Chains A and B, each alone.
Chain A
Amino acid sequence: MTITAILVLAVGTYAFRVAGPFLRARMVKAAARRGGATTAELPPRLTELMSTAATVLLVALVATAALTDGGSFAGVALPAGVFAGGVLAWRKVPFVVVVIVAAVVAAGLRLLGMP
């Protein structure tokens, strides 16, 4: 690991992060110009697309983090823990309980010797 590597990763990551909000602000400006107003809302179809895209990414993160581990499919404990948490979340159990139960189920199954 070198300082150059750390800086390249830092700058690249920040570039990805900062691009979104500034691109969105630009789109709002362009929409305002087209509408002849000083402030404008983005077309609902576009805002829907952007927020759905974020949700799709988050769900894909959940799916891969819950079911895979290092490129291959995960064992039993991890998916079972996430599944238990998911069921509780669906039953509208408080967030803190969801997180703790997911961890406890995964840790408990590992303690019992499950992969």
Chain B
Amino acid sequence: MRSIWRTLPPALQRDMLALAGALAVIGMSFGAIAVASGLDWWMPSALSVLVFAGGSQFMVVGVVAAGGGIVAAVLGALVLNARHLPFGLAIGDIIGRGKLARLVGSHLMIDESVAFAMAQKDPARARAVFWFLGTTAFAVWNLGTIVGVLAGQGIADPKAFGLDAAFPAALLALVLPALKDTRTRNAALLGAAIALATTPFLPAGLPVLLALGGLVVLIPAPRQTAEEVSV
């Protein structure tokens, strides 16, 4: 695996490490918030190792802290994580062709590793990027969680550093080249509009899934109309 990483240009490694650094800080805040919400010391780490999906981890902790039911919390978090299925359809071949690679690599699938891999034109580089960022993110997310649990309230709010703006900006930078394609752009714009319009009414996670409705723009215009006109 090390040998593929060596093929990654230093600038690309730097980009991924910058993102990993930001993830570490969010991981710390997750650990701190989780114990402040009353979770046992080992639970934040169990979530970070076994679930490894930040949004859903914050969600279950938030619901539990607010006194909500655990069943609803888990169901809501699963809805939020359902997007990984279409992600896997798109990048399945990038992760690897072997069974073991697919079984292990699937767990490293996060928004950032998917976006970074899809932004690469060369398939070999896309694979190296996916594994480099996936493993690095897993390591720093879990280290961050442990630090956050130990430090507790001493951890500052990531919003104070603007990190909540850093992640969407990073994803935006990564998908921007794909949006040069008109059909992709139209589908994405319609999807984003659907997601934004439904966010105030639906539980978290569903609006993003509904964005897939934007794919209707890929349906080719029916040929019948042309024939009907000619008749």
User: Is A94 positioned at the interface, with any CB of B under 8 Å from its CB?
Assistant: yes
What 0/1 readout, one digit per residue, does chain B (174-204) give for beta carbons within 8 Å of chain A?
1110110001100111011011100110001
Give the number of residues in B that approach A within 8 Å (Cβ atoms): 90
**Residues in B whose Cβ lies below 8 Å from that of A20:** 84-92, 106, 109
| Contact of B162 with A106 in the complex, beta carbons under 8 Å | yes
User: Is B143 positioned at the interface, with any CB of A under 8 Å from its CB?
Assistant: no
For window 29-54 of chain B, which residues contact chain A by CB distance below 8 Å?
A: 39-40, 43, 46-47, 50-53
User: Is A30 positioned at the interface, with any CB of B under 8 Å from its CB?
Assistant: no
| Contact of B215 with A16 in the complex, beta carbons under 8 Å | no
Contact of A13 among B56, B159, B187 (CB under 8 A): B56
| Contact of B78 with A9 in the complex, beta carbons under 8 Å | yes
| Contact of B170 with A54 in the complex, beta carbons under 8 Å | no
User: Is A112 positioned at the interface, with any CB of B under 8 Å from its CB?
Assistant: no
For window 48-95 of chain A, which residues contact chain B by CB distance below 8 Å?
A: 48-68, 71-73, 77-78, 80-82, 84-86, 88-90, 94-95
A/B pair count, beta carbons within 8 Å: 290
Known: A65-B167, A86-B169, A106-B162. A54 touches B196 (CB 8 A): no
User: Is B22 positioned at the interface, with any CB of A under 8 Å from its CB?
Assistant: yes
User: Is A24 positioned at the interface, with any CB of B under 8 Å from its CB?
Assistant: yes
Interface class of chain B by DSSP: helix
**Residues in A whose Cβ lies below 8 Å from that of B77:** 9, 13
| Contact of A9 with B60 in the complex, beta carbons under 8 Å | yes
User: Is A32 positioned at the interface, with any CB of B under 8 Å from its CB?
Assistant: no
Question: Shortest CB–CB separation between residue A85 and chain B, in angstroms?
Answer: 3
Question: Shortest CB–CB separation between residue B74 and chain A, in angstroms?
Answer: 5
Extra contacts besides A6-B43, A53-B212, A58-B174 (15): CB < 8 Å? A16-B85, A20-B85, A20-B87, A21-B93, A24-B92, A52-B187, A55-B118, A56-B188, A60-B214, A88-B173, A89-B176, A95-B173, A99-B169, A102-B168, A102-B170
Q: Please report A residues at the B interface, Cβ cutoff 8 Å.
A: 1-3, 5-10, 12-14, 16-25, 28, 48-68, 71-73, 77-78, 80-82, 84-86, 88-90, 94-96, 98-108, 110
